[in-house]
Chains A and B, each alone.
Chain A
Amino acid sequence: MNISRRDLFHLAAIAGFSLTAEDAFAKLNNLNPEKLFEFKPVGNITLLHICDLHAHLKPLYWREPSNLISAKELVGTPGFLCGQTFMDYYKIKPKSMRAYFDTYITFEELAKKYGKMGGVAYIKTLINQIKAERGSDKVLFMDAGDTWQGTAVGLFTKAKAIVEAQNALGVDIMVGHWEYTYGKDRVLELVNKHLKAEFISQNVADDIWGDLIFKPYTIRDVGGTKVAVIGNSFPYTPIANPKEFTEGWTFGIQIERLQKFVKEVRNKGADIVVLLSHDGFTVDQAVAKMVNGIDVILSGHTHDPAPSPVVVNNTIIVISGSHGKYLGRLDLEVKNKKITNFAFKLYPVASNFIKPDKEVENLVNKLYEPYEKELSQVIGKTQTTLYKRDTFYSTFDRVIMEAIKEEADCEIVFNSGYRWGTTLLSGDDITVDDVYSMTAITYPDVYKFEMTGSQMKNILEDIADNVFNSNPLYQQGGDMSRALGLEYEIRINGEPGKRLSNIKVNGKDLDPNRNYVVAAWGGNMHRAGKNIKKLRPVYDITIDYIKRVKVVNPPQRSNVKIVDYPCGCPDNTGGC
């Protein structure tokens, strides 16, 4: 597509004007030779799906991972595809808008061509259009969670701003994960008083009595079809995030209970059974093998943009990316309590091609208004792409760790391998809002502590097993913790506890008996340390650092060498 950025804006404006017309999608497709908005409706109902919005109400750049390393049994399977392997698997043309949305390849070039992604006002336009075409009674809109956390506006309003956006979008049903890090009282307050959607979960229970905290499922009449939706919140919430937020509540995958509820909703006359899940894409593929009778899983957590569903044990599994980049649409033909036909599409929320919904745009501006001045403040510039996603290393995390190292005066810095954040292009200004998009959590404090070499190795081995276990049920769905001041080699398929070798601290072999001075945030690592000191919140430290250095240019080279795969990424942003 040979049009300049300016042309695109011009065309987008035209697209906007025509979007109220009946054939709005057709007109969008005329502007877009890839026909990314084309969809032939199938059957009698439509399930709309978003996941892992991470509180991004406005469009952003989001670069997909440059590698997604896994145990050998999982290499090349959906959930562990990225870059060229992703393009080959899903037959995506190089340099197309799809390639831009789904991979890191030539990201900067395509970002300039196609513009920012996501934004709730743009998602709303697509939803309105689909509902107008289909009849809103035939549409059920579900949100698989990780919606409330990830930006300043989410954090500052204790998620209230995001709930208002969900209400405006018309979310019908949701589940959660990072939602719980606002604390269980706040979750219940938002769910009971503000959220219009139903919050369901069959796997959140009182840890003494086993009583469920939320409704486990809901049965909705969708255009005459009885759709049962069972919820699964993130099974490892109290392990991956601080326990105190959910004290007294227990999670887990709860396979046996899930099977019981599938039977129960069938007995109540459900035509189809949907699992709305924050388990993660690979875990849900395993769940589908273990539980019978689920027709559809709308997954989340692992942020995969999967253009086509995976079908396992007669269960259709879809996942719709992250950060508001996509709207998933699954059309179903249901006859005699069976799905007889289906069609799926991930609509790319290409903000330059979609006219934003005025009402929702106004709402977003209103929600930002009290913080706009602070958040839009430019604090520096980047000379290279600042990204988050990679198995071991990321340039934006590197900047954050440099900031912490200066502040803490320590030997090693650790930074969690979360999969949310933002992306900045080389030459971009860095704003306060951008820093929050990488760090906006309810437990932002940086800790400085001491820990022996062997303790540190054990913790890294433990985290590596959560990322690289060959059984998806034992994975937590994040990437490996990032480290500054530490280099190591890793055998991905090594025995648990024995994957890491040749560990060096600032160039010298790790001494298992020596105490090291370490700083970390966002994890549980400090709890194992001694002489623990609480420093300032990570966003304050990072903002002050960028203000001081003015320009950042983190190296593209990872500090981790993979021994058992011929993969040198992310040298020069990738290559797996």
Chain B
Amino acid sequence: MDRRTFLKTAAVTTAGISLSGVVYGGFAAELIDNPSPKKSYTDALKEITQDKSVKDSDKVKLVAPEIAENGAVVPITVEVELPVEQVKAIHVLTEKNHNARTMSIYFTPANGKAYLSTRVRLAETMNVVAVAELADGSFIKAQKLVKVTVGGCG
């Protein structure tokens, strides 16, 4: 994302994190009440989908690096290639983090498109999973393995 797009989006959302939706408030509150919630990937997914099935879909475009330059701030973008009216939320999960439920972004038609760009912290090599919750109550997802390495040429 270039500077101009950032400034435009930042104006309508929270500064420092650029996305076209709004952060799920309850989640932030939960973090304050309980600073270190342990939530496995399976539990986090269940919380989001209520046990509904989640299909892999190429409508969910998840862009993340193959190997992280810095595991503390891994840039990702997610776009759901459907009309924004059909997308209720995008949930980002980090498979092996202490709390695998990283963020949930809810969209309204005023957002224009179902797109977000942010940075996530990855404690180790793991899958980043983007789950799209659609207006009809179904779920689709995409995932990518991001390697976190100490580096060193060869």
Contact = CB atoms under 8 A, between A and B. Distances in A.
Interface stretch (A264-272, A367-375, A471-479): A471-479
A250 interface: yes
A474 B66 contact: yes
A22 B47 CA distance: 77
Contacts of B2: 209-211
Contacts of A240: 151-154
Interface string A231-249: 0000110111101000000
Interface stretch (A336-344, A355-363, A459-467): A459-467
Contacts of B70: 243
16 contacts: A209-B1, A211-B2, A235-B67, A238-B69, A239-B69, A240-B152, A252-B69, A253-B65, A416-B152, A416-B153, A459-B150, A463-B152, A465-B147, A474-B145, A476-B153, A524-B150
Interface in A203-223: 207, 209-211
Interface of B: 1-3, 6, 61, 63, 65-70, 75, 125, 145, 147, 149-154
A398 interface: no
Nearest to B75: A250
A498 to B, nearest CB: 13
A419 B154 CA distance: 9
Nearest to B79: A256
B69 A417 contact: no
The 8 closest A-B pairs by CB, nearest first: A478-B154, A417-B154, A523-B152, A240-B153, A239-B151, A209-B3, A252-B65, A478-B153
Contacts of A241: 153
B123 to A, nearest CB: 14
B95 to A, nearest CB: 15
Nearest to A238: B69
Contacts of A207: 69, 75
A210 B154 contact: no
A528 interface: yes
Contacts of B147: 465, 474
A250 B6 contact: no
Contacts of B125: 496
A30 to B, nearest CB: 42
Contacts of B6: 209-210
Interface in A417-431: 417-419
Among A252, A522, A527, find the residue whose CB has the most chain B CB atoms closer than 10 A: A252
Interface in A487-527: 496, 522-525, 527
Nearest to B154: A478
B66 A473 contact: yes
A251 interface: yes
A481 interface: yes
A521 to B, nearest CB: 11
B41 to A, nearest CB: 18
B86 to A, nearest CB: 22
Interface residues of A, number: 41
Nearest to B124: A497
Contacts of B61: 256
A8 to B, nearest CB: 36
A253 B6 CA distance: 22
A171 B149 CA distance: 35
A480 interface: yes
B16 to A, nearest CB: 10
B154 A524 contact: no
B65 A467 contact: no
A522 B150 contact: no
Nearest to A210: B1
B3 A211 contact: yes
Contacts of B154: 240, 416-419, 463, 466-467, 476-481
A478 B6 CA distance: 37
Which of A238, A474, A525 lies at the interface centre, i.e. has the most chain B CB atoms within 10 A of its CB?
A474
A253 B153 contact: no
Between B2, B65, B151, the greatest number of chain A beta carbons within 10 A of the residue's beta carbon is seen for B151
B67 A474 contact: yes
B66 A525 contact: no
Given A240-B153, A243-B70, A465-B149, 5 more contacts: A210-B3, A240-B154, A252-B65, A523-B151, A525-B152
Contacts of B150: 459, 462, 524-525, 527-528
B75 A239 contact: no
A253 B67 CA distance: 9
